[in-house]
């Protein structure tokens, strides 16, 4: 580690300590308004428990890389980390089941439609797994299904966003604390095939690599704005955006800047807030932006530059596109692609996903899966009506931007970003406001308006009556 990198790690650590003041103020304000509830707790625990194993690994072992017989970096963790993951997944599964039972039996919760669509997509992946020789249901697949089932009965809106914001803030601060204690463990080396970003470092925080942390930060920016209250959220949005740039990921830098810019443009508010007004001109600007980003993400795997510019991504997209012809309607399931790495068909670095949300869904779920994914996106945008459109657009923009070269939402198994998927599908519906009584028509006299006739007052009751 150079002195310049050590200085930047120190700055990141100091920022984390300073951020504790606005974080505390924001959470106290949320408590005062009664924003934190069981849904917030469930979303928070989903993000916390899913990331405990990798965070524990970084705290205990630093950032030690293990090489396979070929000399490539192995994907995965030691046995003790996997055992810890089994425990945390079991705890999360129990929490999800208990939450669903409580909401259905005691809270009489309504069923949310958006999580149902996501649940259908995850079930399709599991069925396609079984039809193509993969294990039908693995533990992390069960956890994902349980988390989506939890979302179907959870409380949409601010409480879900608040839980997701708490996850992002927790791991942001933990990364800063680790930067003060062991600065070498939060930074990754810059390489020719993975050059550093604007700040000259790859800041990974307490995660195994900077891309996971970068996507968590970028996807969490809208939740900070929508879940928290007051001006303090502006400070925290800026803090998280700076961390996203510090990860060194070009994708994260572009997505963070674009998301903050859209926040400034739309100033989204939740539909249940008073005086929610949406200017039609801003919607007319936002819709083409979202459509263009989505179109680029969908078209890029099938019409992309040479492999010299995209590296392994271009190669794996071509492989997946050719294989899709064998199962175009239901795909191959959520685990078939990852199974190619143990078989020696693909490198370890590209085994977790196809590094593009659109072709990842298409490969795992076929045309039916892609249709469900599009329905989910459209439903989230339309769910809140015109007043809720800015909030939905801000939540989905970083998802669509990162979808071009990454897979932010996993419908195959639960992972570090499942909490962000759960919070996103809990977009609040449009609020129907009471219509005030009509005023008298112009030209009518007060006599035309029906007068209020009080009822007959009872006679007073005196002594002896």
CB-based contacts of 437: which residues, under 8 Å, 6+ apart? none
Q: Give the distance from CA 81 to its chain's centroid.
A: 24
Do 391 and 269 touch, CB atoms closer than 8 A? Answer: yes
- CA torsion 11→16→22→23, rounded to 10°? 160
Distances, alpha carbon 258 to alpha carbons 175, 339, 402, in Å = 24, 35, 11
Which 8-state DSSP code applies to residue 37? Answer: -
Q: Give the distance from CA 116 to its chain's centroid.
A: 17
Q: How far apart are CA 104 and CA 153, in angstroms?
A: 7
Q: How far apart are CA 460 and CA 147, in angstroms?
A: 64
Distances, alpha carbon 84 to alpha carbons 52, 59, 215, 417, in Å = 8, 14, 23, 18
Which 8-state DSSP code applies to residue 202? Answer: E
> What's the number of CA atoms in the CB half-sphere (13 Å) around residue 420?
26
Do 305 and 411 touch, CB atoms closer than 8 A? Answer: no
DSSP 54-72: HHHHHHHHTT---B-TTSP
Q: How far apart are CA 201 and CA 183, in angstroms?
A: 12
> pLDDT of the chain along its 465 residues, tens only?
788 888 999 999 999 999 999 999 999 999 999 999 999 999 999 999 999 998 999 888 776 666 556 555 666 678 899 999 999 999 999 999 999 999 999 988 999 999 999 999 999 999 999 998 888 889 999 999 999 999 999 999 999 999 999 999 999 999 999 999 998 888 887 776 677 777 778 899 999 889 999 999 999 999 999 999 999 999 999 999 999 999 999 999 999 999 999 999 999 988 777 766 667 777 888 999 999 999 999 999 999 777 667 778 889 999 999 999 999 999 999 999 999 988 888 888 888 999 999 999 999 999 999 999 999 999 999 998 888 999 999 999 999 999 999 999 999 999 999 999 999 999 998 766 555 555 554 444 444 444 444 444 454 544 444
Sequence spans of domains, the chain: 3-430
DSSP 258-296: HHHHHHHHH----TTSTT----HHHHHHHHHHHHHHHHH
């Amino acid at each position: 580690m150079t002195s310049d990198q050590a200085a930047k790690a120190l700055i990141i650590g100091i920022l984390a300590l300073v951020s504790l003041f606005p974080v505390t103020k924001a959470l106290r304000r949320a408590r005062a308004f009664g924003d934190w509830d069981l849904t917030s707790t469930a979303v928070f625990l989903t993000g916390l428990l899913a990331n405990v194993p990798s965070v524990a690994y970084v705290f205990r072992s630093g950032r030690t890389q293990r090489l396979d017989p070929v000399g490539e970096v192995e994907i995965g963790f030691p046995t003790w980390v996997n055992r810890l993951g089994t425990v945390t997944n079991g705890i999360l599964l129990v929490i999800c089941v208990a939450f669903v039972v409580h909401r259905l039996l005691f809270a009489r919760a309504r069923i949310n439609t958006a999580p149902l669509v996501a649940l259908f997509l995850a079930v399709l992946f599991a069925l396609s797994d079984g039809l193509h020789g993969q294990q039908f249901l693995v533990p992390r697949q069960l956890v994902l299904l349980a988390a989506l089932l939890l979302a179907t009965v959870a409380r949409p809106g601010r409480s879900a966003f608040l839980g997701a914001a708490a996850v992002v803030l927790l791991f942001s601060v933990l990364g800063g604390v680790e930067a003060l204690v062991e600065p070498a463990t939060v930074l990754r080396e810059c390489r020719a095939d993975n050059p550093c970003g604007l700040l000259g470092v790859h800041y990974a925080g307490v995660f195994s690599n900077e891309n996971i942390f970068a996507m968590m930060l970028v996807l969490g920016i809208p939740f900070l704005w929508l879940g928290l209250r007051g001006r303090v959220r502006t400070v925290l949005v800026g803090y998280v955006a700076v961390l996203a740039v510090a990860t060194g990921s070009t994708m994260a830098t572009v997505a963070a800047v674009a998301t903050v810019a859209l926040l400034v443009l739309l100033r989204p508010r939740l539909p249940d807030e008073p005086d929610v007004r949406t200017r039609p001109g801003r919607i007319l600007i936002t819709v083409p932006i979202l459509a263009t980003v989505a179109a680029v993400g969908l078209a890029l795997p099938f019409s992309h530059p040479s492999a010299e510019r995209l590296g392994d991504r271009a190669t794996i997209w071509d492989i997946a596109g050719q294989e899709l012809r064998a199962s175009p309607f239901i795909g191959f399931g959520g685990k078939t692609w990852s199974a190619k790495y143990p078989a020696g068909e693909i490198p370890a670095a590209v085994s977790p996903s196809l590094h593009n949300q659109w072709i990842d869904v298409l490969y795992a779920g076929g045309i039916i899966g892609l249709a469900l994914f599009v329905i989910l996106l459209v439903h989230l945008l339309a769910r809140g009506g015109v007043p809720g459109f800015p909030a939905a657009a801000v939540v989905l923009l970083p998802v669509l931007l990162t979808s071009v070269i990454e897979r932010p939402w996993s419908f195959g198994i639960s992972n570090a970003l499942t909490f962000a998927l759960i919070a996103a599908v809990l977009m609040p519906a449009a609020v129907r406001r009471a219509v005030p009584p009509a005023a008298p028509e112009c030209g009518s006299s007060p006599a035309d308006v029906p007068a209020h006739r009080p009822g007959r007052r009872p006679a007073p009751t005196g002594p002896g009556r």
